[in-house]
Amino acid sequence: MAKFSILQTFYASAVWRNLRMTLILEREGRCERCFTISKPEDIVGHHKIELTPENVHDHTISLNPEKIEIICRRCHDEEHDRFGKRKAKTVYLVYGPPLAGKKTFVRQQMRRGDLIVSMDLLYAAMSGLPEFDKPDNLFQNVIGLHNQLIDNVKTRMGKWSNAWIVGGYADKFKRERTADELGAELVFINASREECYSRLAVDERLQYRQVEWRGYIDKWFEQYRE
């Protein structure tokens, strides 16, 4: 099996190494951030658009001199916050009623390399089924992995940048205790009961489960305490 990831293979390729060296020579070994001159081995070709497995094959991004900065190691470490100087890992506890748009919010706010802990997403990953189709018999396994991840977040284990814990957390006591234990900032995704109902009514994934889901929405609002 492949020993290197797609990105590692790209950075090791002759075409990238040649381009990087060409740019260093053209730009006279001068860091474009702090203007110090360094030896080529201490200079990094930094992609202004972060490379991902999806865009690395797009040469207008990965091999485009206009999208590559030549910067010294120190400035590059700072750019990527290699030593976590800028800020420590931030943990967010994102809560609110069913169908309020919590995961959508997280997807808009998160950065590549963040960690998401969500029962819905774990269920989908562990069952191979579409989101919201959650077989009861898998509950113990899903909650087991969920709690394991919560533990990882608590101890800041791993190299993730920020973590997003997503759930209903209607119960004030449980919500605040969890946030406390995790050192998390609370983020409330607000939606009225009527807004949740109307989202449910148009959600194709739930078109045959309207009664069940109205029940989940009602339950959240009954339990919820500010």
Of these, 24, 31, 91, 122, which contacts Zn ion (CB under 5 A)?
31
Of 61 and 150, CB closest to Zn ion: 61
Of 67 and 177, CB closest to Zn ion: 67
The interface region with Zn ion, picked from 70-78, 128-136, 175-183, 202-210 by CB under 5 A, is 70-78
Shortest CB 115 distance to Zn ion, Å:
21
The token pair at 103 is 């995961």
The token pair at 101 is 């748009």
Shortest CB 62 distance to Zn ion, Å:
12
Q: Does 72 bind Zn ion (CB under 5 A)?
A: yes
Q: Does 30 bind Zn ion (CB under 5 A)?
A: no
Of 77 and 131, CB closest to Zn ion: 77
Query: Whole-angstrom Cα distance, residue 72 to residue 70?
Result: 7
The interface region with Zn ion, picked from 25-33, 110-118, 147-155, 160-168 by CB under 5 A, is 25-33
Q: Which helix (H) or strand (E) holds 75?
A: helix 73-79
Of 114 and 171, CB closest to Zn ion: 114
Of these, 70, 75, 182, 196, which contacts Zn ion (CB under 5 A)?
75
Subset of 36-65 contacting Zn ion (CB under 5 A)? 46
Shortest CB 16 distance to Zn ion, Å:
13
Subset of 112-141 contacting Zn ion (CB under 5 A)? none
Of 46 and 134, CB closest to Zn ion: 46
Please spell the DSSP secondary structure of the chain, one letter per residue. Answer: --SS-HHHHHHHSHHHHHHHHHHHHHTTTB-TTT--B--GGGEEEEESSPP-TTTTT-HHHHT-GGGEEEEEHHHHHHHTTTT--S---EEEEEE-STTSSHHHHHHHH--TT-EEEEHHHHHHHHH-SPTT---GGGHHHHHHHHHHHHHHHHTT-SS-SEEEEEE----HHHHHHHHHHHTEEEEE----HHHHHHHHHH-GGGTT-HHHHHHHHHHHHHH---
Q: Does 34 bind Zn ion (CB under 5 A)?
A: yes
Binding site for Zn ion (CB under 5 A): 31, 33-34, 46, 72, 75
